[in-house]
Structure 1
Amino acid sequence: MRTFDVPSAPAFWQDPHSFFSSSETAQGGVFASGDGAVSVLGFDALDQLGRNPALDGHPFPAGGMGSPGLDALLRWGLFALTAPEHQPLRRAVAAGFGARRIETLLPLLRRAAVEHCREAARRGQADLVHDVAAPLAGLAFCALVDLEPLQAGALVAAVEEIGRQLSPDSAPDGTEAAGQQAEAVLEMLRALEAAGASPLMRDIAERLPPDTPARPADLVAALVLDSIETMTAGLACALDCLLRQSGVAEAVAADRYGWPLAVQEAFRLTSPVLLTARMAQADIAWQDDIIRRGTTVMLWWPSGNVDPRRFERPFTFEPLRPQARHLAFGTGSHSCLGRQLAAMLAEELAAALLPKEGQRAIRIGETVFLQRFARLPREAPIRFA
């Protein structure tokens, strides 16, 4: 098995796609990556292995986060659960995050997108992450679980603090603050469940396995980090991409393609989720290689989204390309449940930032990315003209 060194250079966080060359994704796509781990590169390997049921969640070690609050928050994360817990609990959560419930949020999110963009235009400039993407992601999550909209800011702040602690460049002295934020999130959602005020949690409760110790609030709390940070990354990355495309608003206005196709192509090009770590629960034969049981498997989604064997002109923005399916939010049984909500909100924000008439947002300066596996910009300034 050939080797792939996990990128450590600062340049990787700014432009991860250049680290996944076509030569690396050839010949099977499975690489040894040190410490017994395996990396998967290229569309076909990612798509097929990502759907393999033997490639399951990667559990956090008990007490491994250094904080009881963080351990409690992450204990029921769907991305970390393994069989036999994972599938029954994912089905329960999926019942709460159903397409019909998400679609009912459209009028609220459309108004919110217009209002946020109108306020930013009134000021003349704003930050795409902090003034647009993050507030809307927090509001969308609150609407989904029936929290008061005023609590969105607290959730976004908590996710930022926790995310800093979980990032590769985290500082040890941030554990206590992140743990306190995790405990506050858990307390908020447990109070919501106790009050019986969340239809989403009631739907989850009805479908929980009878023998599980997990409660709806535990499962929803574990989704807060994944949902808000990943959604913020997806919105910021997609909108940053769309604002840099000349003529995209005119093409949508002329019905050459719509915002849904433009947003999905922007997701493909930007790959908001860089990496998912899973664990082999059994030996997996892959071409001439064997991935042994217990191996950590790192799925590098950007390498599949710009794989030239799957996408012609992979770095070109082409919403009408025939091979449209991408891996921006993973694939298989651990893929992101919130992709529909992220896409819907991105479409509304794109229409508000790039209207047919009136002021439009313009990207200015460079987009600076944090060292996060959700590809989250630190800043992305915009102005209106």
Structure 2
Amino acid sequence: MSDGAPDVSLLDGAFYAGDPYPAFAWLRRNQPVYRDSRSGVWGVTRYHDIKAVAAAPALFSNAEGIRPDQAAMPYMIDMDDPEHRRRRRLVDTGFRPKAVEARRTAIGEICDYLIDRVRERGECDFVRDLAAPLPLFVIGDMLGVEPEGRPDLLRWSDDMMGALGSPDPGALPRAMTAFSEYTGYIAERTAQRRRDGCESDLIGILANAEVDGDRLADDSLTMETLLILIAGDETTRHVLSGGMEALLAHPDQHARLRADPGLLPTALDEMLRWVSPIKNMARTATADTTIGDTEIRAGEKVLLLYPSANRDEEVFERPDEFDITRQPNDHVAFGFGAHFCLGSRLARLELEEMFSRLFTRLPELRLAEEAKVPLPRCPANFVSGIQSMPVTFKPERV
């Protein structure tokens, strides 16, 4: 990068898969609300500006869609209140504190099952074998997906998310196929839950729920389950893998955390800040306004750049240092305002259960010699993280 303005394409997945932080730092200092000339989208880089936008839904709306280059979809994240609030109440049942805590034992058993599958080998791909399956299995169970359907669920999630901002010409056809297969799968189960009146899982709850006397249309129900899948799977897997990568790169902190599990809550917050798996979300200005000193016209799109906010020097001391004891740590990895992540408690529980087991059952885990550093990341412009992380450890015999 030269001393001048960086050439940043905010919708290019390769930008987020590389090292965007030097560009973000320059923009925060010099062009905190940056206009991407390729897309016409504004990028908001500073922490307090992002919170201000997120706290003003009447002025910065979700209803035009959270992806700046796609039309709004019929799920709650692409809605403003009051419809957003009504939809959120329907789904909220499975994400309340007591409901999440009730899943602790089951989540722990899934963690043990995944570790059991690799423990005797002494090696595995951390992403494929541990980080990706855990949230997928948990969300699959909540949706009522049979265990044999989990591989398809993982493939559909990967293919649909992988197409966002990807330079791969085959990514979009794969995403379209995945979406078609997923909608067919959910439609079949929705019809079954309605016939049976079953409300034992989230598909059943949504299939039989009413919003102001009306049931959700099939396409809306499908999209709400898709949102739960993507939000629950893609984000948590990237914090698991990115958090472990950070610990392996800081062996002193890794050792300290293994020795003192009481540090895990602050460590998890630092992993969330450090990884920031959701790279951005869009809002649409409903009227002429300003963000800081920058004029924004009605109808223009602004991107809330969460990774930049989580490295803002005005909020975080030594923001480019990984510190498992960091306090305070008011990161925005889960967003802010009315659309704060519904599954944040569940994500924390999954992270807590998996890391606590990794520290005791695979304490000597480290990057494999063949691992390519820097580790390859998904070239996606929405949710992105490590694609593959070969690791080795001392085999655990039965």
Q: TM-score range by the shorter chain?
A: 0.7 to 0.9
Tell me the distance in 2 between the aligned counterparts of 1:3 and 1:39. 13
Partner of 1:139: 137
Structure 2 gap segments, 5+ residues each = none
Tell me the distance in 2 between the aligned counterparts of 1:334 and 1:95. 16
In 2 relative to 1, CA 36–130 (structure 1 residues): closer, same or farther, beyond 3 Å? same
Partner of 1:32: 35
Equivalent residues of 1:272, 1:374 under 8 A apart = yes
In 2 relative to 1, CA 192–320 (structure 1 residues): closer, same or farther, beyond 3 Å? farther
- The aligned amino acid for 2:135 is A
In 2 relative to 1, CA 250–114 (structure 1 residues): closer, same or farther, beyond 3 Å? same
Deviation at 1:84, TM superposition (A): 4.6
Is residue 2:112 matched to residue 1:117?
Answer: no
Equivalent residues of 1:56, 1:82 under 8 A apart = yes
- The aligned amino acid for 1:267 is L
* TM-score, normalization by structure 2: 0.83
Q: Secondary structure at the match of 1:138?
A: helix
Equivalent residues of 2:210, 2:216 under 8 A apart = no
Match of 2:231 among 226, 238, 241: 226
Tell me the distance in 2 between the aligned counterparts of 1:84 and 1:177. 33
- The aligned amino acid for 1:162 is M
Deviation at 1:77, TM superposition (A): 2.7
State the Cα deviation string for residues 9-57 of structure 1 (Å, max 9, x = none): 9464132222211x42137832222344211002111122122223222
- The aligned amino acid for 1:331 is F
State the Cα deviation string for residues 79-100 of structure 1 (Å, max 9, x = none): 2224553232123222342222
- The alignment yields a C-alpha RMSD, in angstroms, of 3.0
In 2 relative to 1, CA 253–287 (structure 1 residues): closer, same or farther, beyond 3 Å? closer
In 2 relative to 1, CA 9–298 (structure 1 residues): closer, same or farther, beyond 3 Å? closer
Match of 1:379 among 380, 388, 393: 388
Identity fraction in percent: 23
Tell me the distance in 1 between the aligned counterparts of 2:154 and 2:213. 33
Deviation at 1:152, TM superposition (A): 2.0
* TM-score, normalization by structure 1: 0.85
Is residue 2:19 matched to residue 1:15?
Answer: yes
Q: Secondary structure at the match of 1:31?
A: strand
- The aligned amino acid for 1:330 is G
Equivalent residues of 2:127, 2:386 under 8 A apart = yes
Is residue 2:52 matched to residue 1:48?
Answer: yes
Structure 1 gap segments, 5+ residues each = 66-70
State the Cα deviation string for residues 300-343 of structure 1 (Å, max 9, x = none): 11111111111111122223223211011222222322222222
Equivalent residues of 1:269, 1:305 under 8 A apart = yes
Partner of 2:281: 276
Tell me the distance in 2 between the aligned counterparts of 1:142 and 1:199. 10
State the Cα deviation string for residues 220-265 of structure 1 (Å, max 9, x = none): 2332233222222232222322333313354235438422211110
Tell me the distance in 2 between the aligned counterparts of 1:19 and 1:192. 50
Tell me the distance in 2 between the aligned counterparts of 1:298 and 1:58. 14
Tell me the distance in 2 between the aligned counterparts of 1:99 and 1:278. 29
Equivalent residues of 1:145, 1:199 under 8 A apart = yes
Deviation at 1:146, TM superposition (A): 3.1
In 2 relative to 1, CA 252–376 (structure 1 residues): closer, same or farther, beyond 3 Å? closer
Query: What does 1:184-333 correspond to in 2, within 5 Å?
Result: 184-187=184-187, 189-191=189-191, 193-194=193-194, 195=196, 196-201=198-203, 206=209, 208-211=211-214, 213-214=216-217, 217-218=221-222, 219-255=224-260, 257-333=262-338
Deviation at 1:188, TM superposition (A): 5.1
